């Protein structure tokens, strides 16, 4: 009963913090997915007018949720809440199959707690959560498939959908393929039957992507889709050197583990202990391999942002289940009886969980949405994007186009206005590769052709991530273009430790920001002359 009581308590904590922060400001990834989902609901094909490095599965999932619940941050977060609860259930079912009912309950509890942690931005609807959802479904079906070809196909299909959520999801399909090959050898089936198994699984994996490519080819957007998700994505990943990747990993893993350090430590011990126990060795090796492939998913691109480690959380949680279930192994290590050792293992897990909750108590139980945004992202303009969007919505017609100079696509989402350029993120324009400068020139050309009524310039370093070697043409253009055709309509000064200062109207042009992070809203002079103010 104790493991289930722990599971109930952890689930309650997870649900409470997710409900408390339902209407927290969207961050950049959520804003991008939300805006692209709006365009899908408006009948636009992916890559028709807006560009993205990621595969569009998460955009379609957002669109489905928004079609049912509305185009709001709350709707998006409710979708994440439901997805997370399903993932908790799937982790529990996997843990039960591998380590028994106690192991299943502990695995589910560990995943629920780890996946809501602030250290991995667990209440934010990143695509990694949806990769995990479909990968877990694929794993569960795979373990039940045995020699059933239809089940193997369905497992592959789930892994293929995980890949559509975001490219690193392909690592889970790789794990599934290795497992199918292992079962082929372990079961001793004929070569023909083994090939049938592998073909059914592989067909399931490939089908979602093949269908997407066909749909985009018919829509006429396949060339741009291929450029952005393959050519440009490859160039973006190739820029990270090995030394940079090692440094980014050390920072990313420290940030992701953070207050959950004891749960991660128990997970590592769990694999070791379970491998020493003959009864749990095979299941432990399964979880060890899953951790390796999950880490490969996190490693894609070599950037190692903290929320990427969500992709490892199911494997880590299952390893926690291994720790508690392998009581006999613990007993051998501690020279105690197996029942006593099992109680010790469960006590350690409860203590690690309590520590993680206690260290996050402000975030879990007290922070309001503004405090959460500031503590998570510093001076990034996510709370301020709401008021910017409100201003733009009031001062423009529904069909008007606006341009955000920076990576704040959440402004488009809130304002319900079309982007004057397909470049929703500007990170890639600052990279040291051959496509950066042509991308800047294309973004400039699109904006000049569209002649948007309003521009929003994000003078926040993390909205650009410019380096010393970044091409600076676009910044020179912004200065020239805004002076020639626009006037300052507002300035939002994001002050450290204080509420942001909003300056509008006649006072804005002469205001000098006190902070190094601020937003400038420009109005086209012809728009002012037309009375659109």
pLDDT > 70: what percent of the chain? 96
Contact status, residue 201 vs residue 153, Cβ threshold 8 Å: yes
Mean pLDDT over 149-177 rounds to: 98
Structure confidence by residue, pLDDT tens digits, 199-219: 999 999 999 999 999 999 999
| Residue 127 to residue 116: CA distance in whole angstroms | 15
Q: Which own/partner contact pairs does 79-85 have at CB distance under 8 Å and 24+ positions apart?
A: 79/125, 80/18, 80/123, 80/124, 80/125, 80/129, 81/15, 81/18, 81/19, 81/22, 83/129, 83/130, 83/133, 84/14, 84/18, 84/112, 84/115, 84/116, 84/129, 85/15
| Residue 134 to residue 121: CA distance in whole angstroms | 20
Sign, CA torsion 76/44/429/241: positive
Question: What end-to-end distance do the CA atoms of the chain give, in Å?
Answer: 64
pLDDT higher than threshold 80 for residue 68 = yes
pLDDT score at 527 = 54
| Residue 91 to residue 184: CA distance in whole angstroms | 25
Give the 3-state secondary structure of 461-524.
HHHCCCCCCCCCHHHHHHHHHHHHHEEEEEEEECCCCCCCEEEEHHHCCCCCCCCCCEEEEEEE
pLDDT higher than threshold 80 for residue 341 = no
Residue with tokens 């959908």: 161
Mean pLDDT over 162-180 rounds to: 97
| Residue 342 to residue 319: CA distance in whole angstroms | 15
- With CA atoms as reference, report the closest residue to 59 among 42, 74, 427: 42
SS3 459: strand
Strand partners, 486: 524
pLDDT score at 338 = 52
**0.85 surpassed by pTM:** yes
Provide the mean pLDDT of the chain.
94
pLDDT higher than threshold 80 for residue 373 = yes
pLDDT higher than threshold 90 for residue 533 = no
**Length of the chain (residues):** 533
Write the CA distances from 132 to 111, 203, 439, integer angstroms.
11, 20, 32
Q: Where are the domains of the chain?
A: 2-230+242-366, 378-529
Mean pLDDT over 222-238 rounds to: 90
Give the 3-state secondary structure of 114-131.
HCCCHHHCCCCCCHHHHH
SS3 166: coil
């Amino acid at each position: 009963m104790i493991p289930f009581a722990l599971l109930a308590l952890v689930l309650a904590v997870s649900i409470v913090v997710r409900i408390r922060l339902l209407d927290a400001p969207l961050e950049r990834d959520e804003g991008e997915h939300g805006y692209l989902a709006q365009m899908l609901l408006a009948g636009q094909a992916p890559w028709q007018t807006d560009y993205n490095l990621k595969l569009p599965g998460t955009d379609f999932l957002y669109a489905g949720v928004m079609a049912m619940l509305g185009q709001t941050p709350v709707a998006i977060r409710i979708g994440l809440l439901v997805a997370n609860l399903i993932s908790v259930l799937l982790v529990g079912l996997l843990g039960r199959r591998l380590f028994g009912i106690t192991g299943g309950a502990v695995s589910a509890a560990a995943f629920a707690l780890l996946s809501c942690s602030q250290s991995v931005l667990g209440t934010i609807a990143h695509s990694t959560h949806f990769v995990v959802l479909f990968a877990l479904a694929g794993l569960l079906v795979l373990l039940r498939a045995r020699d059933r070809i239809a089940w193997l196909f369905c497992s592959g299909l789930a892994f293929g959908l995980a890949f559509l959520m975001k490219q690193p999801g392909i690592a889970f399909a790789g794990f599934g393929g290795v497992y199918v090959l292992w079962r082929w050898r372990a079961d001793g089936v004929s070569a023909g039957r083994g090939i049938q198994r592998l073909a059914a699984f592989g067909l399931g994996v490939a089908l979602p992507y093949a269908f997407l490519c066909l749909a985009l080819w018919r829509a006429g957007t396949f060339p741009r889709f291929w450029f952005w998700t393959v050519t440009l994505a490859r160039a973006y990943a190739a820029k990270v050197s090995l030394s940079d990747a090692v440094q980014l990993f050390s920072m990313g893993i420290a940030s992701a583990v953070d207050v959950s350090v004891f749960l991660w430590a128990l997970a590592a011990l769990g694999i070791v202990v379970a491998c020493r126990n003959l009864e749990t060795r095979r299941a432990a090796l399964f979880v060890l391999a899953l951790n390796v492939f999950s880490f490969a998913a996190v490693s894609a691109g070599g950037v190692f942002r903290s929320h990427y480690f969500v992709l490892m959380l199911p494997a880590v949680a299952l390893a926690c289940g291994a720790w508690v279930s392998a009581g006999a192994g613990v007993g051998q290590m501690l020279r105690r009886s197996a029942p006593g050792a099992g109680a010790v293992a469960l006590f350690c897990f409860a203590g690690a969980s309590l520590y993680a909750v206690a260290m996050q108590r402000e975030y879990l139980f007290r922070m309001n949405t503004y405090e959460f945004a500031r503590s998570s992202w510093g001076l990034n303009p996510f709370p301020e994007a709401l008021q910017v969007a409100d201003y733009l919505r009031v001062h423009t017609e529904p069909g008007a186009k606006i341009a955000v100079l920076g990576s704040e696509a959440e402004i488009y989402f809130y304002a319900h206005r079309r982007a004057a350029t397909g470049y929703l993120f500007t990170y890639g324009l600052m990279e040291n590769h051959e496509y950066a400068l042509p991308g800047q020139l294309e973004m400039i050309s699109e904006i000049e052709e569209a002649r948007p009524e309003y521009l929003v310039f994000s003078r926040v370093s993390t909205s650009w991530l410019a380096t010393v070697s970044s091409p600076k043409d676009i910044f020179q253009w912004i200065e020239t273009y805004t002076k020639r055709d626009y006037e300052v309509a507002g300035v939002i000064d994001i002050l450290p430790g204080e509420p942001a200062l909003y300056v509008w109207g006649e006072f804005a042009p002469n205001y000098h920001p006190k902070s190094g992070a601020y937003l400038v809203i420009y109005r086209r002079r012809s728009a002012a002359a037309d009375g659109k103010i």
